[in-house]
Amino acid sequence: MLQLTVLVSGAVLMALEMLGSRVLAPQFGNSIFVWGSLIGVILTALSAGYYLGGRLADRHPSLPPLARVLALAGVWTWLLPEAATRVNAWLAARDLGPRLGALVASLALFAGPALLLALVSPWAVRLAAREIRSVGSTAGVLYALSTGGSIAGTLVTSFFLIPAFGVADLLRSCGLVLLALAALDLAAARRRAQAIGVTALTALLLFTSAVLRPPALFETGAPARIEPPRAVGGGMQPGVVSGGPAVGEIRGPFEDGVVFEKESLYHHIRVENAGGSRYLRFDNSWQSGMYLDDPLRARFEYTDYLLLPFALRPDAGRALMVGLGGGSVVKKLLAYRPDLRLDVAELDPVVVEVARTYFGVPDNPRLTVHVEDGRRLLDRAGPAYDVILLDAYYADAIPFHLTTREFLGRVRARLTDGGLVAANLIGALEGPRSALLRSMARTFATVFPEVYLFPVGGRSPDTYQNVILLAPREPHRWSREDIVKAAEAQADALGTPSLPEYAAALHTRPLPVDDVPVLTDDHAPVDALLHLYE
């Protein structure tokens, strides 16, 4: 029984660490500070727990006290979903910053159960060691089992459980597993009354879990497929706003080769010149590009597609962009929209430095760059925006907390009447590689009345590609002709002659989404959807 106890407690401990990142991400992002806080708190709890576990085992060298510790850990873990909601709300009101906030939340939520679970291994060694000469081998076996359980908990939770189930359900399930284990230990120790009591508590919490369980994702009122909005007559009469260029100084060298390379807190960042262009690379994917002889000309076509909402809202006075990259969109908006005030949320300070130094993002009184997570910026009180642009989704790394229904609700709440959001998504519209994009489109459709999709570059719908999603705050039922007409009227004013062609790329076929989930803070399996058929 001791071997099973050690194995399962090790698995639950690492499952809690994996789930912890999902609990903290909606409030603090998925940064290195979150992982550093979690790992630091867990290791501190392990250190303290090993020490206390040895002392307690010497004072109480029997199985029932250990079982009661497991039961307490189980109840604490079962309560974590509700506790997380309250702790995150309390911290949000105090704005302690990404470092201290993540650390305080990790301590408040996970130090307790981790400490209790750390008591198990030294206590089990004390109970299992029959004589002094066998202590070494006994400890070796039990710690190997504990580590094996931790490995299993890490892999099973991250590979299978998080993609399949909601975080709240998984946390409560971990608590129930610990309670069931405590009941088994008490039964093995022939403490029948206590075993029955813990079993009854487990059954009660299991029933309560079923009642509290979030509704099935497919019962959220989300559409089974997304129909392109149909026009209801009438055209658009957008105005015309023009402006001049606004590009800062661009640092050399300008010959082909690597210009800048640095390991930031979030990426391995590289700036590279090739064939008259300059490129920005994060880890293994290209993020942005610029023609060295024409910094305002789009090197990657999708950046000009992100100007479509400004054709539909030519009077936009304030905009927010989540994700800076090389600043292609920012430079163009500053150049051609002289009355526009632009806020940018960029998590990585090195990216901001690179965009200003090597890509010509200017110091401009109309541009404010916030070095913070985009969701945190939206959580704070601030201005309403006519347009919000989301360009923080990478080809192989999707920050899940920026994809969920709760996040999009914050986006919609910060839009003005008549406001629009546009997002640069990466995926296919049809076929085996379309699951994530269709899931994100379905999630947008639960928050916004209409969703418009513009595949970039005229590729086949089953091709992995950039797709610009556009969603208005209020229904408009624009036709392709309406959007093209607006783009024609604003193409020159936005410095983008091809804008009508991009507007004409509107995807008009229904998008089936009945087989993909609505993404929520509780369940957003973006990694699994991204690599579903790989």
What is the tens place of the pLDDT at every residue in 229-256?
554 433 322 222 223 346 888 888 889 9
Residue 24, burial from CB neighbour count under 10 angstroms (0-12, 13-18, 19+): buried
Q: Are 190 and 496 in contact (CB under 8 A)?
A: no
Over range 105-113, report the average pLDDT: 95
Closest C-alpha to 239, from 90, 355, 339, 128: 339
Per-residue pLDDT of 478-520, as tens digits, reads 999 999 999 999 999 999 999 999 999 999 999 999 999 999 9
Whether the CA torsion 438, 442, 447, 448 is positive or negative: it is positive
391 is catalytic: yes
User: What is the spatial distance between Cα 452 and Cα 515, in angstroms, rounded to a whole number?
Assistant: 20
Q: What is the pLDDT of residue 239?
A: 25
- Give the mean pLDDT of the chain: 88
User: What is the spatial distance between Cα 70 and Cα 411, in angstroms, rounded to a whole number?
Assistant: 42
Over range 117-134, report the average pLDDT: 84
Could you identify the residue written with the tokens 């301590």? 107
Confidence of residue 209 (pLDDT cuts 50, 70, 90): confident
| Every domain of the chain and the residues it spans | 2-213, 236-241+301-530
Over range 437-457, report the average pLDDT: 95
Contacts of 289 (CB under 8 A, 6+ apart): 277, 278, 279, 280, 299, 300, 326, 328
Over range 320-325, report the average pLDDT: 95
CATH number given to 2-213 = 1.20.1250
Run of H or E residues at 298 = strand 294-298
| Catalytic hit among 391, 482, 521, 522 | 391
Q: What is the pLDDT of residue 244?
A: 34
* Fold agreement (2-213, 236-241+301-530): no
For residue 261, how many other CB atoms are within 10 A of its CB?
Answer: 11
DSSP state of 465: E
Q: What is the pLDDT of residue 99?
A: 83
Q: Quick check: 447 pLDDT over 80?
A: yes
Confidence of residue 132 (pLDDT cuts 50, 70, 90): low
Residue type, 239: G
Per-residue pLDDT of 308-319, as tens digits, reads 999 999 999 999
User: What is the spatial distance between Cα 433 and Cα 473, in angstroms, rounded to a whole number?
Assistant: 29
Q: What is the pLDDT of residue 213?
A: 56
For 198: left if phi > 0, alpha if psi spans -120 to 50, otherwise beta; the answer is alpha
236 or 525, which is more confident: 525
CATH superfamily ID and name for 236-241+301-530: Vaccinia Virus protein VP39 (3.40.50.150)
Percent of the chain at pLDDT exceeding 70: 91
DSSP class per residue in 60-77: --SHHHHHHHHHHHHHHH
